[in-house]
Amino acid sequence: MIAELPSYLESLGGGAYKGFIFVAFTFTAMLTRPISGKLSDTIGRKPVIFIGLFVSFICGLLYPVLNFMLGFLCLRLLNGLATGFAPTGTSTYIADIVPPARVGEAMGVLGLISNIGTAIAPYMGSEIAKLKDYGGLNLMFYTSSMLAVIAMLLILTLPESLPDRQKFTWSLLRLHKAELAERSAFPPSLIMFFSVYAFGVVLTTMPDFSLSLGFQNKGMFFMYYTLSSLGIRFVAGKLSDVYGRVVMLRVGLLVLAIALAYLAYAKTWVDVMIGGILYGISVGINSPTLFAWTIDLCPTETRGKAIATIFIALEAGILMGALLTNYMYANDLANITTVYLVAMLFALAAWAYLQFVVCRQAQK
């Protein structure tokens, strides 16, 4: 749905609120992460994944019904709950079942497989939306629900990976201060926050930017960047197991800064394509490495909370990117250069923290 949502909101009279498509979604996901992390460490990984998928299923059915601006934004809030649950459970499940020496490789494989869907989905969503005689956008929403059902059926076939599960009680939803975040995950989480700011920028501006430079499909940029990240994810994850997380992150963050600088001055669709490929390479390096580093640092019994913590940072970074971009972009393509240069500064801040804080602390 990503590529079509900005123009859909504009058709509902909310063109000035495009940034809130992702702000609302990300805000709820961020708020629910501590709960999903706690439940993952108590009632099990599978139930947490299933809850997220079920919410996705319901949202896909409701988008065609709540087809007014307030209803749409409320659904984006609800849809964020799905993202707050399913990826937390999935990443923790994977960390449970792989050898510690191959965690980076496993995170690379997880990213590789999930990004195949991310590569195909925006393009196919835009193509489905063009089928006006068969429902157009409504058909796109229903297709997303159908995919959630397939995923739920697949989850039911897997064994639970948490050995000592608790029964669910409502008291588990009450969070104490210490349950909000895992301190051991703070260094990778801070780098995640600064690096994914750029994704909030891309989500908010790229559909309009792509069309203005000659793309016929608003999902093409997402396909280029995701496909370029596919090949590097598996290799980067394995290399981080061999050479270390910090070494790979130094490279990935510099590539991210270069990609954003390139997009800031893009003048043709070829420029956007090249920038998208570089951006995908950086994401393919950074994402599995940061998740593997988080798993390295945390105790086994709080693995779900640690994964939730880095996801909170991910959502907070996207949220910041979307909010600031909504303000700076102001639905005016003349502001694109400024928007992407600010994102580049965030990437360089992440690199500086890694180089001058994390590395120095490791040497002491």
Indicate whether 193 belongs to any domain. yes
Indicate whether 40 belongs to any domain. yes
Tell me the per-residue pLDDT of 311-348, one tens digit each, with 9 for 90 and over.
Answer: 999 988 988 898 888 888 877 778 888 999 999 999 99
Distances (CA, A) of 2 to 11, 299, 356: 15, 35, 36
Q: What is the pLDDT of residue 17?
A: 67
Give the CATH number for residue 282: 1.20.1250.20
Q: What is the pLDDT of residue 346?
A: 96
pLDDT band at 280 (very low <50, low <70, confident <90, very high): very high
Tell me the per-residue pLDDT of 112-128, one tens digit each, with 9 for 90 and over.
Answer: 888 788 778 888 888 89
Q: What pTM value is reported for the model?
A: 0.82
Indicate whether 334 belongs to any domain. yes
Q: What is the pLDDT of residue 237?
A: 86
φ, ψ at 331 (rounded to 5°): 60, 30
Judged against a pLDDT cut of 60, whether residue 363 lies above it is answered with no
Q: What is the pLDDT of residue 234?
A: 77
- Please state the rounded mean pLDDT for residues 165-179: 87
Q: CB atoms < 10 A from the CB of 101, how many?
A: 9
pLDDT band at 361 (very low <50, low <70, confident <90, very high): low
Distances (CA, A) of 159 to 154, 236, 359: 11, 29, 39
Question: Which carries the bigger pLDDT value, residue 42 or residue 215?
Answer: 42
Question: Which carries the bigger pLDDT value, residue 84 or residue 51?
Answer: 51
What value does the mean pLDDT of the chain take? 87
Indicate whether 173 belongs to any domain. no
Apex CA 233: angle with CA 227 and CA 239, to 5°?
150
Judged against a pLDDT cut of 80, whether residue 223 lies above it is answered with no
Tell me the per-residue pLDDT of 282-312, one tens digit each, with 9 for 90 and over.
Answer: 999 999 999 999 999 888 889 999 999 999 9
Indicate whether 170 belongs to any domain. no
Instruction: Give the structural domain span for 141.
Output: 5-158+178-363
Indicate whether 163 belongs to any domain. no
Indicate whether 167 belongs to any domain. no
Q: What is the pLDDT of residue 62?
A: 93
pLDDT band at 269 (very low <50, low <70, confident <90, very high): confident
Indicate whether 121 belongs to any domain. yes
Number of H helices, E strands in the chain: 13, 0
- Please state the rounded mean pLDDT for residues 95-105: 90
Judged against a pLDDT cut of 90, whether residue 271 lies above it is answered with no
Question: Which carries the bigger pLDDT value, residue 210 or residue 279?
Answer: 279
pLDDT band at 364 (very low <50, low <70, confident <90, very high): low
pLDDT band at 263 (very low <50, low <70, confident <90, very high): very high
Instruction: Report the domain count for the chain.
Output: 1
Q: What is the pLDDT of residue 153?
A: 95
- Which residues have CB under 8 Å from 203's CB, separation 6+? 2, 21, 22, 318, 321, 322
Judged against a pLDDT cut of 80, whether residue 18 lies above it is answered with no
Q: What is the pLDDT of residue 362?
A: 62
Judged against a pLDDT cut of 90, whether residue 278 lies above it is answered with yes
pLDDT band at 186 (very low <50, low <70, confident <90, very high): very high
Apex CA 240: angle with CA 344 and CA 82, to 5°?
65
